[in-house]
A and B are shown apart, each in its own frame.
Chain A
Amino acid sequence: MQNPGTTAQRHKVILWVIIIFFLLPSCSFDKTSRIIKDNKCADCHLLNPQKKIAKEHKKAPDLFYAGDKFQEKWLTEFLEIPEIIRPAGYITYPGYRQGNPELQSHIRLTKEDALLVSQYLLTLKSGLLEPVQIENQVNKKGLARGKRMFEGQYGCIACHRAQNLRGVLKGGVSGPVLSNAGNRLRGSWVFNKLKNPALFEKKGRMPVYKIPDNEYLMLTAYLMTQLKENERR
Chain B
Amino acid sequence: MRKQGVWLAIILMAFFVLPSCGKKENNIGKAKPKTEVETKTPPTLGISVFRLNPTKKTRADYQWFCAPCHGIFGEGNGINSSRMPVKPINHRDPAIMSRKSDKDIFTAISHGGLAIEKAPCMPPFKHTIDKKTIASLVGYLRELCQCEDVSSGPSTPSIRLM
Contact = CB atoms under 8 A, between A and B. Distances in A.
A173 interface: yes
B120 interface: yes
Nearest to B88: A158
B67 A172 contact: no
Interface residues of A, number: 24
Interface majority SS (helix, strand, loop, mixed), chain B: loop
A99 B71 CA distance: 9
A153 B68 contact: no
Given A97-B63, A99-B79, A174 B128 contact: no
A158 B125 contact: no
Interface string A90-119: 000000111100000000000000000000
A155 B108 CA distance: 13
Interface in A206-233: 207-210
A209 B84 contact: no
Interface in A152-185: 152-159, 161, 170-174
B79 A155 contact: no
B90 to A, nearest CB: 16
Interface string B106-127: 0000001110000111111101
A66 interface: no
A88 interface: yes
Nearest to B68: A174
A152 B83 contact: no
Contacts of B125: 207
Interface in B38-74: 63-65, 67-69, 72
Contacts, number: 68
B72 A159 contact: no
B83 A170 contact: yes
Given A97-B67, A205-B68, A208-B128, A155 B83 contact: no
Contacts of B68: 88, 97, 159, 172, 174, 205
Interface string A59-99: 00000000000000000000000000000100000001111
B127 A208 contact: yes
B124 A171 contact: no
B83 A172 contact: yes
A116 B79 CA distance: 37
A172 B69 contact: yes
Contacts of B122: 155, 158
Contacts of A155: 112-113, 119-123
Contact of A207 (B63, B113, B123): B123
Nearest to A171: B83
Contact of B127 (A158, A159, A207): A207
Contacts of B120: 152-155
11 contacts: A88-B79, A97-B68, A153-B114, A156-B123, A158-B80, A170-B83, A172-B83, A173-B79, A207-B124, A208-B128, A209-B127
Interface of B: 63-65, 67-69, 72, 78-80, 83-84, 112-114, 119-125, 127-128
Counting from the closest, the 9 A-B pairs by CB-CB distance are A172-B80, A174-B68, A208-B127, A158-B121, A99-B79, A155-B121, A207-B123, A155-B120, A97-B67
Given A172-B68, A172-B69, A210-B127, 14 more contacts: A97-B68, A98-B72, A99-B78, A99-B79, A154-B112, A154-B120, A155-B121, A156-B123, A174-B78, A205-B64, A205-B68, A208-B127, A208-B128, A209-B127
Interface of A: 88, 96-99, 152-159, 161, 170-174, 205, 207-210
